Structure 1
C-alpha cells in the first residue's frame, strides 16, 4: 500500500518549514488564474479575517480552508506539485505583495509579521539567515514562456507595467488591494497578513511517488475539481519520454500538439486535448474488438494496465498524425483532399450528432498510407455511406445513443479490414419513407440543417463552401407572407423540408421579406442605393430557383419536399443500406 503524509497546516507552517522546496514541473499547465480568481481569493480572505468589516469580530481559533496541495518528492528532493499549482502560485504573489509593502513601514508589529512572511518566501542558511536569492518555489513549466516574470517578481518585489504576464497583472492587483486596505484600516494593517499565514489552512498531501500523486490527482478530479484528463496523460508521457532520455523532445512536441488541438477542436465540455484523446480512443477500442454501446470515461480507458497505451511512442505519433488530419479537415486542405472529398466533409460538418468524428478517425488511422493519405474513391464511398446511415438514424432512431451499437460494430470491421456494410441494420425503404414524410423538420432539430446541406451538394454546380461561413435556415416561402396572405391551404407546409434551404446569415437577415421577387434580389446580389455591391448567395439551388421562378408557392413546396425525400430514399439504396 502506498504511503501518504497528510496533515493540515497553516500557510506559515507549510511555507516556512525548512524542508519546503516546491517545484512546478515541466508537464504542468501554465499559470492561468486571472484577476477574477484573485479578487475572489482576496474577498474571501478579507471576509474571514475581518468579519463584517470589523477586526474585533475575529476569533484567534477561527480557520479558513484553502484546499489541498498534492505533491511528491522527486529525485532531487524537491516537492513536485501535481495539484494546487494555481493556488500556491497566487498565495506566493500575495505574500510577496504584503512583504513589499512592509518595507515602507517601521512599526514593531508590522516588522514582526514581515519576518514571519519572509520565511515563507525565501530559504534560510544553516544559521537561520534568510537567503533572498533562493525561493521556496520554482517553476519549470515548459509551455509557460513567462514563468521568469513570476520568479523575478518574487525575488525583487516589483512588477512594472512593462511586464504583461498574468503573474504581473495579478501581483499589481494585490498591490492595489493592499494599498486600499492600508488606507481603510491603517492601525490594523498587520492583522490581515498575520491572519492569512496563521489561520488559513492548506491540506498538503505528500505521496511517496509520482504514480501515487497522480492517482490522488485523478480521484480529486472525479470529485469535481477542474482538472483535465489530458494533464494526467501528459504526466504519464513525461515519465515515459524522460525514461527514454527524450524529455526535452517530448515537451516541444506536446506544446505543438496542444497548440494545434486548441486551434481545431472546440468541444462542448472538456478541453481540446481531451477531444483529441477521445477521437483516438475509438481507434484503440476498435482494435481491442470492443463493440459495447457503453463507452468508458476517457481516463478510465487510458489508465488500464498502468497506462500501457501511453507508454508508447507509436501512440503519441498516432495522436499527432490524427491532429494533423483533423487540422486539414478544418482547413479544407486541397493538398490532402480532392474536391469531392471536401464536399462530403462539408456536409458531415452539419451532421445531426458528433459520432462521425469518431467513425472517420478510426477509418483514417487504419487506412492511411505512410504519407497520411487515403484512397480517394474508397474514402468517398465510406463518407457517402455514413452520411446516408447517420442521417436516416437521426429520423427513425433519434439520439446518439441509438447510433452507438451499429457504428461501434462497424469500427471493429474497419480495423479488421472488413467493408463497412451495416448488414444487420439495413432499412426498409417504405418504413423510412413514411417516417420522413411524417417527420417534423423544424429548425430546432439538427437533422433539418443536415438534410439541407446534403441536398445543396447534390447539385454538381454547387461550389465548395467555407466552413467559416455561418449558414441559417431560410424559409423560401416567408413566414411573414403566410401571416399576411394566408395562402397556404396547409399551414404545416410552412415548416416543410421543401420550403427550407441553407442561406448565409448575412443574406438571411435581409431576405426575410415576404415577397419572393425581393428574395430573388437578395439571392442574386444587388447594388444598393449607395452604389455598394451586396453579394448574393453561394447556394447554387437558390440561384437556380431565382432564375427559373417568378414566385414560389405551396405547390412548389410540396413538389420540392417530395423530390428531396424521394432522392434521399434513392441515396439509401445507392449506398446499399436498403433491405
Structure 2
C-alpha cells in the first residue's frame, strides 16, 4: 500500500458512510483552548461571508488504516477533527430545527453512523474516561449552562468546556454578521477542506507528521512505544494493568521533577550499550523483541529501572552534584543508573572516576564524539560486572589517546578561565570537596550565582599601584583570581580595594558569604601576585585531588 494524499472536504471526511476514526491510546489528550476555538470560528465565519464560493483550507489530516478496528488512526489532526465533531453537536443542539434536511443529514452522519445509532464516527482510546465524557456530555446531547465561568465549572471535561465556548462564539458571530445557520452549515461541510494523507504504516505516518507539523511538537516516540507494547496484550485486563503501571512510572518521575523521555532514553542506553541509530521507540522495540518478554514484564522492568534513575539523579553526594553541571547528561546518567539498577559494587569509586574523566574532557574542550564510545563501553563493563580497575583502565586509555590531561592543565592554569563554560562548575567542584559534609547542598548554576574578579576588571589607581600591566593581563581572568558570590554580595563588592571587598564578602549587612572558596580570602591581608600564586596552589591541589586520579 502506498501513501495517498487527497484534498477532501469535511463532508467526505466525516459524513461518508465507510469512514470511522479513532484517536490512538498513545496520543496526547484533546487540548485546544478558548483562543484556538475563537480563531477557528473567526476564520470560518470570515471565509463564509467574504469568499462563500471558495474552499477554506484547514490544514492536514494524517491517517493510518487500523485493520484490527476497521477504523482510521488519527496521527495528526486530532484537535481539528475533535473540534469539528463538537461543533456539529453544538449546531445540532442549538439550531437543529432551523436546518433543512440536507444540513441535518450532514450533522447527524458526522456524529454517528447513519444506520447504527451507537456507532460513533470518532472515538478515543487515550483514556476510558475521555470517551465517556465525550459520549455522555457531548455526543448524546449537550446540556448548556449559563455560567460565565466556563473554564472553572467544566475544568475536568475539556469537551463540554469547549462546547460552551463554541456556543458563545457561534451565537456571537451569527448575530454580528447576520449569517443564516443553515447556509453556514452546508458551506462548512462542503467548502472546508483538508489535505488527507493516508499512510500504510505508523512509521511513514509519523515521518509525514514531522514534516507537516512544524508549528507543534512531533508525535512522541514514547507515545508510539507505549501503544506498540499495549497492542501486544490480548485482553483488556492486561492492557489496563499496563496502563496503570505506565502512568505510575510517569507520575513518579514528574513528582521528582524528571520526565519520562529522559528516563526512557537512559533505559535505552542501558539496554543497548551502543549508540542508537533510530528513534527511541524503534530501537527499544527491536531490543525488547529479542528478549521474548511480555509487555507486562517489560513495563515491570522499566518501572524498576525508573526507580534507579530517580535515585541516581536525587543522590546528594558531591560527585553527583558535579556531574549535574555537564552538558551531555545522557552518558553519566545511563552509566550510574545502570550501576544502581544492576547493584554494581563500586558505585562511589565509579562516580569519582566519572567526575575525573568527564571534567578533564570538558575543560580540555573535547567533543561528544570523543567521550561517546568510551561511555558506552563503561555501560557494557558494568553489565558484565567488571571490576572498577577495568573501568578506570578504559577511561585512562581514552585520556591518553587524546592527550586530554595535557590540554586540561593548559586550560586550568591558563590566563583566560573566566568566560569558559566550566568556570563556575570548577570552582563549585572545589567548593563541594572543601566541605566536610558528604552530602552538601546542591548549588545550581544560574543568574544568582556570580563569578567575582577579586582583582577587578576595571581598576582604580590603588590597584594599579599593586599590579603592573603584564601581571594584570596574566592574572585578571585566571582561576586564582575568581571566586563565587551571591548576586547581592557581588553588587556590594563592586570594584573596591581588597580590604573593602573582603569586608563585603565577610559581613556586609551582617551576612557572611556562604562559599568556602570565598571565605579563604578572609585570612588574606592583601591581594597581590604572591597571594594569587598561593591561592592557585590551594585551588589546584583540590582540583587535582578530585580530577587527576588515573
Equivalent-residue separation in structure 2 for 1:448 and 1:469 (angstroms): 11
Which residue does the alignment assign to 1:531? none
Give 1:314 shift: 4.8
Which of 263, 272, 290 lines up with 1:285 in the alignment? 272
Equivalent-residue separation in structure 2 for 1:560 and 1:137 (angstroms): 71
Which residue does the alignment assign to 1:347? 322
Which residue does the alignment assign to 2:30? 31
Equivalent-residue separation in structure 1 for 2:504 and 2:436 (angstroms): 19
Q: Per-residue displacement from partner, 1:6-60 (whole Å, max 9, x unpaired)? A: 655321222223344433344432222333443444454445x24xxx53x3334
Which residue does the alignment assign to 2:303? 320
Equivalent-residue separation in structure 2 for 1:91 and 1:446 (angstroms): 50
Give 1:231 shift: 0.9
Which of 260, 276, 295 lines up with 1:273 in the alignment? 260
Which residue does the alignment assign to 1:335? none
Q: Is residue 2:3 matched to residue 1:13?
A: no
SS in 1 for 2:418: coil
Equivalent-residue separation in structure 2 for 1:520 and 1:145 (angstroms): 63
Give 1:551 shift: 5.6
Unaligned runs of 5+ in 2: none
Which residue does the alignment assign to 2:206? 218
Equivalent-residue separation in structure 2 for 1:472 and 1:570 (angstroms): 24
Give 1:439 shift: 6.5
Q: How does 1:135-174 map to 2 (within 5 A)?
A: 135-142=120-127, 148-151=132-135, 152-158=137-143, 160=145, 161=150, 162-164=153-155, 165-174=157-166
Q: Would the aligned equivalents of 2:242 and 2:295 in 1 still touch at CA under 8 Å? A: no
Which residue does the alignment assign to 2:355? 387
Which of 389, 399, 418 lines up with 1:426 in the alignment? 399
Give 1:484 shift: 7.5
Equivalent-residue separation in structure 2 for 1:467 and 1:191 (angstroms): 64
Across the aligned residues of Structure 1 and Structure 2, the Cα RMSD in angstroms comes to 3.7
User: CA 1:42 to 1:536, structure 2 compared with 1: closer, same or farther past 3 Å?
Assistant: farther
Q: How does 1:118-129 map to 2 (within 5 A)?
A: 118-125=108-115
Q: How does 1:168-207 map to 2 (within 5 A)?
A: 168-204=160-196
SS in 2 for 1:426: helix
User: CA 1:523 to 1:96, structure 2 compared with 1: closer, same or farther past 3 Å?
Assistant: farther
Equivalent-residue separation in structure 2 for 1:37 and 1:494 (angstroms): 54
Larger CA deviation: 217-226 vs 454-463: 217-226
User: CA 1:430 to 1:186, structure 2 compared with 1: closer, same or farther past 3 Å?
Assistant: closer
Larger CA deviation: 217-226 vs 504-513: 504-513
Which residue does the alignment assign to 1:441? 417
Unaligned runs of 5+ in 1: 267-271, 333-338, 529-533
Give 1:417 shift: 3.1
User: CA 1:69 to 1:218, structure 2 compared with 1: closer, same or farther past 3 Å?
Assistant: closer
Equivalent-residue separation in structure 1 for 2:185 and 2:289 (angstroms): 44
Which residue does the alignment assign to 2:435? 460
SS in 1 for 2:233: helix
| TM-score normalised by length of structure 1 | 0.77
Q: Would the aligned equivalents of 2:309 and 2:333 in 1 still touch at CA under 8 Å? A: no
User: CA 1:122 to 1:432, structure 2 compared with 1: closer, same or farther past 3 Å?
Assistant: closer
Q: Is residue 2:364 matched to residue 1:396?
A: yes
Larger CA deviation: 384-393 vs 433-442: 433-442
User: CA 1:187 to 1:459, structure 2 compared with 1: closer, same or farther past 3 Å?
Assistant: closer
Larger CA deviation: 34-43 vs 114-123: 34-43
Equivalent-residue separation in structure 2 for 1:20 and 1:4 (angstroms): 17
